[in-house]
Amino acid sequence: MRDAAARIEVQDRIMFALKKLLSAALQPCSLLLAVMAVGLIFLYLNKRQRTAKALLTAGLALLALLSLGPVARTLVRPLEMTYPPLLAEVTQAVSTLPDGSPAPRWVVVLGGGKSEDDDLAPVHKLSEASLVRLAEGIRLQRLLPGSKLVLSGGADGEETSEAETLAAASASLGVSPDRLVLESQSRDTIDEVRALRALLGEDRFVLVTSAMHLPRAMAMFKKAGLSPIPAPTDYLAIGGDSDMLGWFPHAGAGQMIERALHEYLGLFWAKVRGQAR
C-alpha cells in the first residue's frame, strides 16, 4: 500500500511539473520569442532569408497585437462576465442570499500568490490577486452572520503556507482568529478541490477568487460534487475601448492576455483529465 501511495505521489508531482512547464511554454511571450529567435537564426546564418523575414514580421505583428488593451479585454471579458458579483450593493448583514437560499456557513478564499520576505507586513506579502480576494472574502464574511473564513493555499516548498500568510493578513485587518479555518496543503486548484471536499463535505459555501479564474474553479468544484456559490473579484477588464490611448501597445495588456490564456488552457486541461465539466 505504501509503495502504491508513493508511486501515486510521484506521478502527481510529475504531472504537476509538466502542467506548469507546458503552461509557461504556451504563453504568448514564450511563443513570440521562439518565433523571432528562429527568424534571427535564419537571418544570421544567411539561410532562408524570406522565411526569416516572414518570422520576424509575424513575431513583431503579433507582439503589437497582443499589447493592445481592446484585444486583451476581448479575451478576458468572457471569463470575467460568467458570474455576477455577490451581494455587490449590500452593506448590512443578511440571513438569505438574493435567490432566497439561506446564508452559507463558509466563505472560501483561494490563494493567488505571495512572497516570503520577512521584512514585509503580512498584507504586503500577498500578491495583488491574493489581497483583493482576501478583501472580498472578509467583506462577504462580515455580511453573512456566523460564517467562517476558509483560507486556502499551500507552502509549495516555502517555509510558510499561503493560508498562514492570508490568516496573518486577516488578523491584521481585524478578523478574529476564531472565525478562520486554514487549508494549507494545496498546490493548485485541483488540490484545493480535494482538500475542501474533505473539509466542507456537502455544505454550501461562497467561493471567492479572481473573476477570470472563477469559471475554471466552479467547473472543477462542481465536477467533484461540491456546492460552491460564485463570488468573483479582482476584475481586470474594466472600462471601455473608446479612449484612443487604450489602443497604444502596453505591457499590461500582455499580462492580461497571459492570465486569460492560462485560464483557457487550464480549463481545457481540467476537462481532458475529467476534473471539470
- Sorted by where each begins, the domain ranges of the chain are 2-80+247-272, 106-233
Q: What pLDDT sits at residue 3?
A: 62
- Asked if residues 114 and 127 have their Cβ atoms less than 8 Å apart, the reply is yes
Q: What is the pLDDT of residue 6?
A: 57
User: What integer pLDDT is reported at residue 45 of this predicted model?
Assistant: 79
Residue 207 CA to residue 90 CA, distance in Å, equals 17
Q: In what order do the strands lie in the sheet with 106-110?
A: 180-183, 148-152, 106-110, 204-210, 227-233
Local confidence pLDDT in tens for the 277 residues of the chain: 556 555 655 666 666 566 566 666 667 777 777 888 888 888 887 777 888 888 888 888 888 888 888 889 999 999 999 999 999 999 999 999 999 999 999 999 999 999 988 889 999 999 999 999 999 999 999 999 899 999 999 987 788 999 999 999 999 999 999 999 999 999 889 999 999 999 999 999 999 999 999 999 999 999 999 999 999 999 998 876 566 666 787 888 888 998 999 999 899 989 998 999 8
Topology of 106-233 in CATH?
Rossmann fold (3.40.50)
What's the pTM value of the predicted model, to 2 decimals? Answer: 0.85
Find out whether 110 and 152 touch, Cβ atoms under 8 Å: yes
- Give the Cα separation of 101 and 194 in Å (integer): 25
Question: Can you read off the three cell numbers belonging to residue 212?
Answer: 477570470
Q: Which of left, alpha, beta for 90 (phi over 0: left; psi -120 to 50: alpha)?
A: beta
